[in-house]
Structure 1
């Protein structure tokens, strides 16, 4: 069959969508930033019509806000919204864990172990005070949590969870939060639960894990500078997020 084995080439619109989305999730485009189309065109190198399509798509995901005639802005952040996003993540993940633990086979166990191995190595480096790339750290965290639920048997559930996780991830990247040994210990405990197929205990750990992250961010006031930022403040130039994360 002609063309078999070749991936479909990404369109300029899809590429722009993915790049802007990645910058929003990473915090490089900070919460509240106004997204002027001319400035975006200079940065991402695509036509204004293509940018509008990408921004409306991101607005449907809750990552960008359409401001009527004023254009677009990166969605703001707040402690209230963070808690709502966290509850949605927990609702989906706790259900998916039960289904995945019941259905997971030996190959699934191997995927979970491998995902935790990478995450644990990076967490040990963070705990030792070494510098680490925030994007890599959160990628490994995401891969582990997704591996835990990957055998749930529902593509729709996995897609919905991925969207909720990304909104949660944006808060973590904005706050650049690493809770130290407690988070690493919870990940290790989740691995043990997966291997033992102990879904009820995993759900309890997940609740502590996610709620603990939210409480850490809110109590620490990490969202306050962004909550005060006016959506009209301008620039579309991606601000460098904290690139190095240290254990704390």
Structure 2
């Protein structure tokens, strides 16, 4: 018998709205620098203006939204400076998490990593073959792969910080509107192989190159000021 405590928890309207707004900010559906009109957002996300204000104030802590005092809220602008800062922060956090994960990882961790890389490489093959409809899947599986790499770090706070930085870094890739192609596939394969060998130094070098090549790709798109 399932007790009340065992029943799955449903998202509240506010939690659903927070998740949807955050996804729209990262995907670019809410473009950088655009005004967030509360009455329009109220209809779009199905919550009250007061709840919207709470959500948007919460998102200012991740620098996804800018509060303009009495004038309301604006989507944070995109800039080369922030892109470079996020890249450095991601390398710092993810390399540290890789070291902890490689030390603490067990057979279950290896199984998660193998499964995550399998899904990612499958989608990447489709993208290389010209199936652009799999881009949304790639975004999800890319994060799942990087999350699997560090999932044995045994630090909830580190994972939360890395997730926030990863998403904000991903926003720039989605603004670039193009898949990096074979080089990113090769990066992921090498990261996977180095992780299974527990080669922390090699994985950090590979990750650093992976992130910096991503920055260069975004900059070449010409879509970031």
Alpha-carbon offset, residue 141 of structure 1: 0.2
Alpha-carbon offset, residue 102 of structure 1: 1.3
Residue 210, structure 1, aligned to residue 211, structure 2: yes
Greater percentage in helix: 2
Structure 1 counterpart of 2:143:
142
Alpha-carbon offset, residue 57 of structure 1: 0.7
- 8 Å Cα contact 2:36/2:75 also seen in 1: yes
Structure 1 counterpart of 2:42:
41
| TM, length-normalised to structure 1 | 0.87
CA distance in 2, matches of 1:189, 1:59: 36
Structure 2 counterpart of 1:95:
96
Structure 2: which 5+ residue stretches go unaligned? Answer: none
- Per-residue CA deviation, residues 123-175 of structure 1 (Å, 9 max, x unaligned), is 11111122233321110000000000000111111111111111111111111
- 8 Å Cα contact 1:134/1:176 also seen in 2: no
- 8 Å Cα contact 1:94/1:203 also seen in 2: yes
Q: Which of the pair has the greater relative contact order for Cα pairs under 8 Å at 6+ separation?
A: 1
- 8 Å Cα contact 2:105/2:152 also seen in 1: yes
Where do 4+ consecutive residues of structure 1 move more than 6 Å? none
- 8 Å Cα contact 1:25/1:167 also seen in 2: yes
Alpha-carbon offset, residue 216 of structure 1: 1.1
Compute the RMSD of aligned alpha carbons: 1.2
- 8 Å Cα contact 2:123/2:134 also seen in 1: no
Q: Which moved more, 1:141-150 or 1:18-27?
A: 18-27
- 8 Å Cα contact 1:90/1:206 also seen in 2: yes
Alpha-carbon offset, residue 14 of structure 1: 1.4
Residue 76, structure 1, aligned to residue 77, structure 2: yes
CA distance in 2, matches of 1:220, 1:37: 32
- Per-residue CA deviation, residues 53-72 of structure 1 (Å, 9 max, x unaligned), is 01101111111110112100
Structure 2 counterpart of 1:233:
none
Q: How many residues align?
A: 224
| TM, length-normalised to structure 2 | 0.96
- 8 Å Cα contact 2:113/2:145 also seen in 1: yes
Structure 2 counterpart of 1:180:
181
Structure 1: which 5+ residue stretches go unaligned? Answer: 228-248
1:30 counterpart SS class = coil
Structure 2 counterpart of 1:165:
166
Structure 2 counterpart of 1:236:
none
Structure 1 counterpart of 2:8:
7
